[in-house]
Structures are given as structure tokens and as C-alpha cells.
Amino acid sequence: MSFKSLGLSDSLLHAINKKGYDKPSPIQEKAIPFILDRKDVLASAQTGTGKTAGFVLPILQILSETRQPKRRPIRSLILTPTRELAAQIYANVKEYSEFLPINSMVIFGGVNQNPQIRELRNGVDVLVATPGRLLDLHGQGKLFLNQVEVLVLDEADRMLDMGFLRDIKRILPLLPPKRQNLLFSATFSKEIKMLAGTFMFEPELVEATPENTAVEKIIQKVYRVDKGRKPALVIKLVKEGDWRQVLIFTRTKHGANRLSQKLEKSGITSAAIHSNKSQGARTKALAGFKKGEIRVLVATDIAARGLDIPLLPHVINFELPNVPEDYVHRIGRTGRAGASGEAISLVGADEADLVRGIEKLLKEKLPSEEIEGFEPKDEPQPAKEAPRRNQNNRNRSGSRPKSGNSGGGNQRSGGGSKGGGNPGNKPGSGGGNRKFKPRRRR
């Protein structure tokens, strides 16, 4: 199948050809016809499979086929969880709409809002935004969403993971009730289906690949290694392999900074990106990485889905993620657009359970080996046995122990589970969960 056979206009085909694409990916082939038919779509596809073009191309065609209002209100809203992903989607919108009379822009936090406000005054057809900055500018009366024709929730599962459910519920009532809704996600969890049931109308379900599977062209390896020797092994792999572009994931921001500093001291150009870095620093680091000026980019999971780096050959999990699904998103930064890639995980003895969780999710055994001189020596520490108390629950001094967080543990307010709340509730409601049952279009 070709892009032309999907019914796209000559202007879009020209832009696609300029990008060098010759045929649609599976998610594009399945989703684009439904979107052009103005149907709601609930789509699941792995990262790196062309999800963005799968919704941007038909949206641009829909908007270009109808008469442009003079004041250019926001006609399509694309919500995404991170600044990096928002910037990436905006870049794609600009490229695909090069030969169309479409205005687009991106807004996100962490930068001065005044340039964004000035650009909004000029009118915009397609707005790419993160939820926080969108609500902030709407609250100031700087933008209005009452003429949105197409809503997109991109990386919806990540938005739930990052606690944006409450923001999404605040945004939905600001939109006109009659609109087209598109929800794109790397996974099809129950929470995602429940969220879809609150605002989508008889959506077409599209799955391009089995849920939570790794891209077939990614070579996955596990190196069992002594925890303290991980930085030295990274340096060895990069230098001996003469790797010029490597993305490394750590669990913490401080860990990313420390590893980046050690790489620099060894003579390997490196930069760290995470939420503590300013947007300018993150943008500069990513640009240097793409240009080849920086060999190694060390990132936390905030970048796991927001980076679009063509032909990235190597991804290293310096530490495995606590959530198995995040492993899929991390390694999905390589092996994109049909290219091959390599994903290496450095696993200490205390991460054995995390490996088993990933293997259970992928339903496959990851190849594992050791490298001479880096063999694991650390062993997981046994859990300390809680001190026993006597029958009358008194300590040695005879007084009763002080009460702490009895029975409660370290619980976070507002819901600490994935999604940050009850995804099955209607926006603004306080009821319990309900089964996925999309509303019917009136």
C-alpha cells in the first residue's frame, strides 16, 4: 500500500516524498483511513513505528479541506506529556504542512510564556501542548479551546503515569462536545481503556503490534556486572566499540549527572538531561547529540518517549527501570523506522527480579553473559528482621513505643497508583471505576 492509496492530498504526498518515506507503516496504514472518515480512534503501537505521522497527516488533510476562519482559532489540539515530545511532534507538523496553509505552534512549561502568547495572537490551527502550560495560559485568557475539531492524546499511558489525569479531566470540559477524539498510546492498559470510555464515541480500536513487545530488529543483551564496576564497563564498551552515538538511561537525576561527569573525565563527550535541567540546557544537549558533537547522552525516563533520534544505534540501561513497561519504551529509542539497533542492560545482583519482570512482560528470555574483569561480586542484602516485642507490646524501659504511621506505610495523597486516580470516572466526577464502555455518538 502507498500513501496515495490512503487518500492523502498531493500537498501532503509532496511533503512525505521530501521526507523520503515510500510506504506507510502498519499503524499509519490502519489508523489514517479511520481518521479521514472522522471516526474516533483508540490506537496502540510501539514507539518508533510512526504513530505521529499516523495522526498528524490525516488531521492536516481534514483541516485543509475545510474553509479557514479569519481569526484562525485552535482547531486541533495535540496533548503530550513531555516538552521533548511536544517539540518533536511540532517539528513533524511543520514538515508535513510545508505545502499547506496551516499555522501551528507548540507550548510547554519551563520557558518564558510571553513569546508563546505573542504567537498565539497571530492565530493557530494546530496547537501542540503539554497539559500544565495549556491550562495556565487558558486560565489567563490567552487561548480558547471552544472551536477544537480534533483532540489528540498522545502517549496517553505516559500521561497517566506522570499524574496528568487530573489535568486531562480539567481540559476536556473546555472543548466543544462535538469533536473527533484520537488516543494514541504505546500500551493498551485497563486504565487507558477506562479513560477512553469517558470521552470517546464508538472508537475504532487499532493495534499495529502486540502490546509491550520489543521491536524485532533490536538486539537485546544483558551483561551481569558488579554494581560498582558499571561506569568502567560503559567506558570500555563505548571506547573499544568506537560508538559515536549512545543513549544511556539511569534511574535518578543525580545518577545521570555522576555518570556523565565520569564519562567526561575519561575523554568521552557527554551530557545529562533530566527534569532538573532547564529547557534550554536540555534542548542544547539533545541538539549536540543529534549533530554528533556529544557521543553519549545520559537521561532519566523523562526522555524515554520524548526523543526522536534517527538511526540511533545503541541504548544502554545503566540501571533497569522499576516498571517493566518502561524497558520497552527505553529500548524503543533505537531500532526506529525499520533500522536495526542494540540495547544493552547492565544488571547487578540486586536487579535480578527486575530482569525477570521484563522477561515475563516480553514473554522471552533475554540473553545474558559476563565480561571478564566485570563479573558480579555484589549480592543483594538480606532483609533485616524486625525486632520482636514482648506480649504486652512494651519496650525494655517499660513504656509503650511511640506510634508512627501505623498501618499506613508511606502512602501518598491523591492516589499513588498508576494513573494517579480513577481513570474510569467521568471528567470532574468522583465515582468509582467502571468497565470500558464507549459512549455512543448522538
Domain boundaries defined on the chain:
4-207, 218-370
Question: Which stretch of 42-46, 123-127, 313-317, 379-383 has the lowest confidence by average pLDDT?
Answer: 379-383
Confidence check: pLDDT of 60 > 60 = yes
Which tens digit of pLDDT belongs to each residue from 164-183?
Answer: 999 999 999 999 999 999 99
As a whole number of angstroms, the distance between CA 87 and CA 128 comes to 8
pLDDT of the residue at 82: 86
Residue 272 phi, psi dihedral angles, 5° rounding: -115, 140
Kindly give the interhelix angle for 131-139 and 114-121, rounded to the nearest 10 degrees: 70
| Domain pair 4-207 / 218-370, same fold | yes
Q: What is the CATH number of domain 218-370?
A: 3.40.50.300
Of 12 and 66, the one with more pLDDT: 12
What one-character DSSP code corresponds to residue 439?
A: B
SS3 331: helix
SS3 223: strand
pLDDT class of 415 with cuts at 50, 70, 90: very low
Within a 10 A sphere around the Cβ of 177, how many other Cβ atoms? 9
As a whole number of angstroms, the distance between CA 350 and CA 354 comes to 9
pLDDT of the residue at 390: 45
Q: Give me Rg for the CA atoms of the chain.
A: 24
pLDDT of the residue at 392: 44
As a whole number of angstroms, the distance between CA 291 and CA 27 comes to 29
Sign of the dihedral through C-alpha 122, 124, 128, 129 = positive
Q: Among the CATH numbers 3.40.50.300, 3.40.50.800, 3.90.950.10, 3.30.300.30, which is that of 4-207?
A: 3.40.50.300
Residue 96 phi, psi dihedral angles, 5° rounding: -70, -25
As a whole number of angstroms, the distance between CA 123 and CA 103 comes to 7
Q: Which residues contact 175 (CB under 8 A, 6 or more apart)?
A: 77, 145, 146, 148, 151
Contact 52, 28 (CB under 8 A): no
| pLDDT above 90 as % of the chain | 54
As a whole number of angstroms, the distance between CA 42 and CA 124 comes to 26
